[in-house]
Amino acid sequence: MDDLSRFCCLNPDCPEHGKRGAGNLSVTSRYCPDKARRMLRCRCCKARFSERKGTPLFGSHLPAEKAVSVLHHIAEGSGVRKTGRLVGVSRETVARYSRKAGRHARGLHDELVAVSPPYP
């Protein structure tokens, strides 16, 4: 049984939109050459989407290990050119993944830190 508690429906028109672990998702198929990625379906609105949709790795052409390595280097403070040389990708690729990860991090921050703590 797949653990889908970290996922939620991504259809903004669905009543279950954004509710993690609501039990409305199921795995309909697996894709990519090694069948490691799951296609998810919402029982409520019937939407289907990749488990990677909404993540910095969605639509990635780099192997996952290399994409994660790019983001690790950036998170540790390596510059775009240095990261590109170390990982073996172009600086444009590093910049593109950085922007995608930044947008994702902003959305996650806004979800997890919805309310600032009150001043004492």
Nearer to Zn ion, 41 or 73 (CB): 41
Instruction: Please list every residue from 11 through 70 that binds Zn ion, using CB under 5 A.
Output: 11, 14, 16, 42, 44-45, 47
DSSP secondary-structure letter at 60? -
* Residue 10 lies near Zn ion (rule: CB under 5 A): no
Part of the chain binding Zn ion (CB under 5 A), chosen from 10-18, 31-39, 60-68, 90-98: 10-18
Strand, coil or helix: 88: coil
Nearer to Zn ion, 23 or 79 (CB): 23
DSSP secondary-structure letter at 46? -
Strands (E) in 23-101, as ranges, are 25-31, 37-42, 48-50
- Please list the residues that pair with 48 across neighbouring strands: 41
Residues in the chain: 120
- Please list the residues that pair with 29 across neighbouring strands: 39
Site residue total, Zn ion (CB under 5 A) = 8
Minimum CB–partner distance for residue 36 and Zn ion (Å): 24
Minimum CB–partner distance for residue 18 and Zn ion (Å): 10
DSSP secondary-structure letter at 83? H
Binding site for Zn ion (CB under 5 A): 9, 11, 14, 16, 42, 44-45, 47
